[in-house]
Amino acid sequence: MYLMRIGAPGAEKPVVRVDEDTYVDVSDLVPDFDEKFFGAGGAAGIAAAVAERIAAGAVRGFADERIGAPIARPHQILCIGLNYSDHAAETGQAVPAEPILFTKSPNTLVGPNDDVRIPRGSAKTDWEVELGIVIGARTSYLDSVEDAKNVIAGYVVVNDVSERAFQMERGGQWSKGKSAETFNPAGPWLVTPDEIADVNDLDLWLDLNGVRRQTGSTATMVFDPYFIVHHLSQFMVLEPGDLINTGTPPGVGMGHDPQIWLQPGDVMELGIQGLGSQRQNVLGPR
């Protein structure tokens, strides 16, 4: 199933994508794709009703609605750093022995095609296409990596926008470089695990102004999604609807020689095989 939220910021309604042209409105079944929805069973709880509506022809055509993030603001956004060995190499850092964890402010979450704004004082704003994991059940102390499969609600495309000077040059606090407004575009939809043949073999890509900058595959992750969820569950309680950004492949701006940083007027386009694509215009500081 492909879960989407469409509408103006703060007034999105939950829908299920049928194909590239049509959707089923489920806003009468669930108020939102939020913690309560995922905690109550998520997509499985509306599957029968959605199938009935599709069979009855109760589908609508997409118009010019804005696409919001496919999940409501989560309890937390957790991020895994240096999770592709070739990305670690381009940044001059060692491949980690266990997942590097940092957090990102939940209010960074925006829609997949919303504008990205460079923060005040920035000189080194960068891009990162990533696979996002959405948690589907309250989770702690999972017994095995295999058990992680049972608590994942689905996967999304995310752009983990980063300000490298804030991240690397301001006391070693990575969250400073990750939490500016608009720094986490997500979507266009959340794809449930049954729709994905192998989450550990998905192509990722990102273009800047029409030039391919990132190309990668989840097959080269240091720690795969199941390992990450199991690992995090040993240190914290994961809540339904939480978002985990799993790291980026090589080709980020700071990895180029000379380095490339986002500028007002730039356009980022990015996507993941089977999970859809995004497009963001870059704006200057407020």
**pLDDT per position as a tens digit, 185-207:** 999 999 999 999 999 999 999 99
What percent of the chain stands above pLDDT 90?
91
Instruction: Set out the domains of the chain in order of their start, with CATH numbers.
Output: 2-68 (no CATH), 77-283 (3.90.850.10)
Q: What is the pLDDT of residue 88?
A: 73
Q: Does residue 92 surpass a pLDDT of 80?
A: no
**Concatenated DSSP letters of 205-235:** EEEETTEEEEEEEGGGBSS-HHHHHHHHHTT
pLDDT higher than 90, residue 251: yes
Residues 6+ away with beta carbon under 8 Å from 197: none
pLDDT in tens, 140-150: 999 999 999 99
Between 96 and 5, the higher pLDDT residue: 5
Helix (H, G, I), strand (E, B) or coil at 168: helix
Mean pLDDT score, 271-280: 98
Contacts of 50 (CB under 8 A, 6+ apart): 1, 16, 24, 26
Per-residue pLDDT for 123 more than 80?
Answer: yes
pLDDT at residue 175 is higher than 80? yes
Residue 209: band (very low, low, confident or very high) from pLDDT cuts 50, 70, 90: very high
- Do 104 and 245 meet the contact criterion of CB atoms below 8 Å apart? yes
Six-digit token string for 236? 């914290």
Over residues 264-285, the mean pLDDT reads 98
- pTM, two decimals, is 0.96
172 has pLDDT over 80: no
On the question of pLDDT at 223 being above 90, the answer is yes
Query: What was the pLDDT predicted at 121?
Result: 95
pLDDT at 94 over 90: no
Provide long-range contacts, Cβ within 8 A and 24+ apart, for 95-102: 95/222, 96/222, 98/223, 98/231, 99/223, 99/227, 99/228, 99/231, 99/232, 101/232, 101/235, 102/78, 102/174, 102/175, 102/178
**Radius of gyration, alpha carbons of the chain:** 18
Average of pLDDT values for 240-261?
A: 96
For residue 173, pLDDT beyond 80: no
Which residue would you say has higher pLDDT here, 251 or 96?
Answer: 251
pLDDT over threshold 90, residue 169:
no
Burial of 253 by CB count in 10 Å (0-12 exposed, 13-18 middle, 19+ buried)? Answer: buried
Q: Which two tokens stand for residue 208?
A: 């800047």
Residue type, 145: V
Query: CB of 180 within 8 A of CB of 117?
Result: yes
- Of 50-54, 90-94, 210-214, which range is least confident? 90-94
Tokens of 184: 């986490």
Token pair in block for residue 80: 């895994």
pLDDT at 260 over 90: yes
Asked whether the predicted pLDDT for residue 132 surpasses 80, the reply is yes
**Average pLDDT in the chain:** 95
Residue-wise pLDDT tens digits, 5-44:
999 999 999 999 999 999 999 999 999 999 999 999 999 9
Q: Are strands 60-61 and 276-283 parallel, antiparallel or unpaired?
A: unpaired
